[in-house]
Structure 1
Amino acid sequence: MKPLFILLIVFTITVFVIKFLTHHYNLPLAGRIAMCVMLIFTAIGHFAFTKGMEMMIPDFIPFKTEVVYLTGLMEIILGIGLLFPSTRVYSAWILIIFFMLILPANIKAAIENIDIQKASFDGPGLSYLWFRIPMQILLIIWVYISTIRI
C-alpha cells in the first residue's frame, strides 16, 4: 500500500512542479519520475527487510539473499533508467517483465501469510492478493503509458 501512495503522491506533486517550471503539463515525465521514486523506495525494502523478502522466493531458487539484493539494485537502476531518453524504453520493458516475474513471489507471500517486515508468518494472507494483483497490473500499465507509448 505504501508504494502506491508514494507513486500517486509523487506523481501529483511532480505534475504541478513541472507545470510551474515549464508552464506545460508533462504527464509522461511526471509518471516516470514518480515510478523512479517508488522503485527506489521499494528497493530500500530489499536491504532493510532482506530476511522477509527471502521468504517470498520459491524454494527451488538458490542464493536467496543475493537474489533479494540483486532485485533491489535492479529496481534502483531501472528506475533511474526511466529518466534518461537513451535508456528509458529498455528500462521500461525490463521493468514490465520484472513486474510479471515477481508476481509469483507475491502470491507465495500471500499464501504463506508472510510478513516481510517482521520475517514471520503472520502477514495479511490471501486478502493481500486482492490489492497486490491489481497493483501489479497498474504498475505495468503505468510504465507502458509513461514510457513506451509516448
Structure 2
Amino acid sequence: MKPLIVLLTSFVLLIFAIKMVRKEYDFALSARIAMSIMLLFTAIGHFAFTQGMSMMIPKFIPYKESLIYLTGIFEIVLAVGLLIPKLKVLTGWALIIFLLFLLPANIYASVNHVNYQKGTFDGPGITYLLFRIPLQILFIVWVYVSTIKIRL
C-alpha cells in the first residue's frame, strides 16, 4: 500500500510542478519520475528489511540476502534509467520484466504469511494477493504507458 501512495502522491505533485516549470502538462514525464521515486522508496526496503525480504524467497534458492541487496541496487538503477530519455524505453522493458519476476516471490510470501517488515510468519496471507496482483498489473501498465507505448 505504501508504494502505491508514494507513486500516486508523487505523480499528482509532479503534474503540477512540471506544469509550473514548463507551462504545459507532461503526464508521461510525471509518471516516470513518480515511478522513479517509488522505486527508490522500495529499494530502501531491500536494505532496511533484508532479513524479512529474504523470507519471501523459496528455500531452494541460495544467497537470499545477496539477492535482496542486488534487487535493491537494480531498483535504484531502474529508477535512474527511467529519467534518462535515451534509456527510458529499454529501462521500461527491464522494469516490466523485473515486476513479472517479483510476482512469484509475492505469491510465495502470501502463501507462507511472510511479514517482511517484522521478519515473521504472521503476515496477511493469501488475501494479500487480492491487492498485490492488481497492484502489480497497475505498475506494469503504468511503466508501459509512460515509457513504451502512449504519450499522454
Q: Number of paired residues? A: 150
Tell me how far apart the structure 2 counterparts of residues 69 and 86 of structure 1 sit (CA, whole Å).
27
Give ranges in structure 2 of 5+ residues lacking alignment.
none
Instruction: Tell me the SS of whatever aligns to 1:86.
Output: helix
Query: In the alignment, which residue of structure 2 is the partner of 1:57?
Result: 57
Deviation at 1:111, TM superposition (A): 0.5
Query: In the alignment, which residue of structure 1 is the partner of 2:35?
Result: 35
1:3 equivalent to 2:3? Answer yes
Q: Return the letter of the residue paired with 2:30.
A: A
Q: Return the letter of the residue paired with 2:38.
A: M
Deviation at 1:62, TM superposition (A): 1.0
After superposition, residues 63-74 of structure 1 pair within 5 angstroms as 63-74=63-74
Deviation at 1:61, TM superposition (A): 1.3
Deviation at 1:79, TM superposition (A): 1.1
Deviation at 1:23, TM superposition (A): 1.0
Instruction: Tell me the SS of whatever aligns to 2:4.
Output: helix
Tell me how far apart the structure 2 counterparts of residues 64 and 2 of structure 1 sit (CA, whole Å).
24
Deviation at 1:109, TM superposition (A): 0.6
TM-score (norm 1): 0.98
Query: In the alignment, which residue of structure 1 is the partner of 2:100?
Result: 100
Instruction: Tell me the SS of whatever aligns to 2:115.
Output: coil
Measured on the aligned residues, the alpha-carbon RMSD in Å equals: 0.6
TM-score (norm 2): 0.97
Query: In the alignment, which residue of structure 2 is the partner of 1:45?
Result: 45
Identity fraction in percent: 56
Deviation at 1:86, TM superposition (A): 1.5
Tell me how far apart the structure 1 counterparts of residues 124 and 81 of structure 2 sit (CA, whole Å).
33
Deviation at 1:60, TM superposition (A): 1.9
